[in-house]
């Protein structure tokens, strides 16, 4: 699938911040810059990365207020609406797509499998659907969805590198920041590695398409070389990182300096979580 990617060049902006900036959205296929990141220049993109991260906590806590689906559903609807109005509907879509399998599992577990005292809404032999179970499944799914949409919106509107830089500038260990960056690249990395192995296997006459048993056989044939090559890759990457000064003591800098702002707002958002937590507990 073709996807948009950023082209970056080093520049100095009007504030004197030197760094790389996005200049176009050339089409790239199939590897993506990062799985989650969406290019844009909306108010959410322009917000400080840590402000967005700080907003996740009160939003998620607020989702637990009340014992019905009402509050999380309102927050969820407001979040979706905000994203759509901000031309970030794709993020809402991604979040809801992410939630779909979990919601289905919750409905099955609470609505069908788990027995409740209430009268079943529908019954097909041994299988019955309970209203109470469905309500619990809906409430739980909505609460999780609030968290998922908040995290997705925060992470999809900041390039991983900028987010990592913001963390390091606030004193977070560069090793932790690396873990985040490597994590963001992990899925495309593994996908590329798997594609290379599959292509190598196909070039040797291994049939990777067809019936389900054949596809399962392909999967097992892929797993071992994928695991082994990943392990070998880890050792080499460790050495490459050492060579790039990963273990050097001292302060880290960044080619892209994230402008320091919004500290008060970030603290306020974190503090707001406390009364919201109290409200969620007592309500």
Partner 1 sequence: MSGAGLPESASLTASTFASFEEFTFTYDTASEPTLTGLTLGLRADQLTLISGPSGGGKSTLARVVAGFIPRPLGGSFEGTARVLGHDVESAPPHVLTESVGVVFDNPFDQLTAATSTAFDEVAYALENEGLPPDEIVARALEALESVGLAEMTGRHPRRLSGGQSQRLAIACALAQRKPILVLDDPTSQLDPTGREEVVSLVRTLRDAGTTVVLVAQDLGHWLEMADRLVILDEGRVTADGHPATLLTDPRLFDGTILVPRCVAVWADLRRRGIALGDTPPLTTDQLVSSVRNLGREREPTP
Instruction: Report DSSP state, residue 257.
Output: P
Residues 7-66 that bind partner 1 (CB under 8 A): 7-10, 12, 17-20, 23, 28, 31, 33-34
Report the C-alpha gap between 153 and 52 in whole angstroms. Answer: 8
Beta partners for residue 129, in sequence order: 122
Binds partner 1 by CB under 8 A, chosen from 252, 259, 261, 267: 252
Residue 272: C-alpha distances to residues 54, 134, 269 (Å): 10, 31, 5
Question: 82 vs 229, which CB is nearer to partner 1?
Answer: 229
Asked if 247 interacts with partner 1 (CB under 8 A), we say: yes
Q: Does 6 bind partner 1 (CB under 8 A)?
A: yes
List the one residue out of 62, 60, 256, 86 whose CA is nearest residue 157.
86
Q: Does 67 bind partner 1 (CB under 8 A)?
A: no
275 binds partner 1 (CB under 8 A): no
The reply on whether position 194 binds partner 1 by CB under 8 A is no
Tell me: does residue 173 bind partner 1 (CB under 8 A). Answer: no
Q: Is 171 in the site for partner 1 (CB under 8 A)?
A: no
CA dist 109 and 101 (Å) reads 12
Measured CA to CA, the distance from residue 100 to residue 128 in angstroms comes to 22
Shortest distance in whole angstroms from residue 200 CB to partner 1: 13
Q: Does 243 bind partner 1 (CB under 8 A)?
A: yes
User: Which residues in the 204-233 window bind partner 1 by CB under 8 A?
Assistant: 232-233
Q: What is the token pair recorded at 231? A: 């392990």
Q: Could you write out the DSSP letters of every residue in 20-74?
A: EEEEE--EE-S--S-SS-----SHHHHS-HHHHHHHHHHHHHHTTSSSSSHHHHH
> Smallest distance, Å, CB 24 to partner 1?
9
- When binding is defined by CB under 8 A, the residue of 57, 99, 150, 181 that contacts partner 1 is 181
Candidate residues 246, 265, 277, 279; the one interacting with partner 1 per rule CB under 8 A: 246
Residue 235: count other Cβ atoms within 10 Å of its Cβ.
9
The site that binds partner 1 (CB under 8 A) totals a number of residues, namely 53
CA distance 21 to 44: 17
Cβ closest to partner 1, residue 87 vs residue 237: 237
Nearest distance from C-beta of residue 159 to partner 1, angstroms: 7
- Rounded Cα distance, 236 and 242, in Å: 10
Binder to partner 1 among 62, 92, 160, 276 (CB under 8 A)?
160
Which residues sit at the interface with partner 1, rule CB under 8 A?
5-10, 12, 17-20, 23, 28, 31, 33-34, 159-161, 164, 174, 178, 181-182, 185-186, 188-189, 192, 232-233, 236-257
């Amino acid at each position: 699938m073709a996807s948009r990617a950023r082209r970056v060049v080093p520049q100095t902006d009007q504030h004197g911040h030197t760094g790389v900036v996005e200049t176009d959205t050339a089409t790239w296929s199939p590897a993506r810059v990062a799985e989650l990141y969406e290019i844009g220049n909306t108010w959410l993109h322009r917000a400080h990365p840590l402000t967005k991260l700080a907003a996740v906590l009160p939003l998620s806590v607020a989702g637990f207020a009340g014992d019905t689906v009402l509050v999380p559903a309102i927050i969820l609807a407001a979040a979706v609406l905000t994203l759509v109005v901000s031309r970030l509907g794709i993020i809402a879509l991604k979040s809801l797509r992410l939630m779909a399998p979990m919601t289905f599992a919750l409905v099955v577990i609470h609505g069908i499998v788990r027995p409740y005292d209430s009268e079943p809404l529908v019954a097909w032999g041994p299988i019955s659907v309970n209203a109470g179970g469905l309500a619990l499944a809906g409430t739980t799914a909505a609460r999780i969805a609030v968290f998922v949409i908040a995290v997705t919106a925060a992470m999809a509107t900041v390039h991983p590198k900028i987010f990592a830089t913001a963390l390091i500038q606030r004193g977070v260990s560069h090793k932790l920041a690396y873990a985040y960056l490597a994590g963001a690249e992990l899925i495309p990395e593994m996908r590329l590695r798997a594609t290379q192995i599959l292509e190598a296997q196909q070039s040797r006459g291994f049939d990777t398409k067809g019936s389900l048993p054949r596809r399962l056989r392909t999967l097992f044939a892929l797993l071992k070389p994928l695991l082994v090559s990943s392990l070998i890759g880890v050792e080499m990457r460790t050495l490459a990182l050492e060579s790039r000064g990963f273990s050097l003591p001292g302060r880290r800098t960044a080619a892209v300096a994230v402008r320091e702002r919004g500290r008060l707002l970030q603290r306020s958002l974190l503090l707001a979580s406390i009364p919201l937590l109290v409200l969620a507990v007592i309500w």
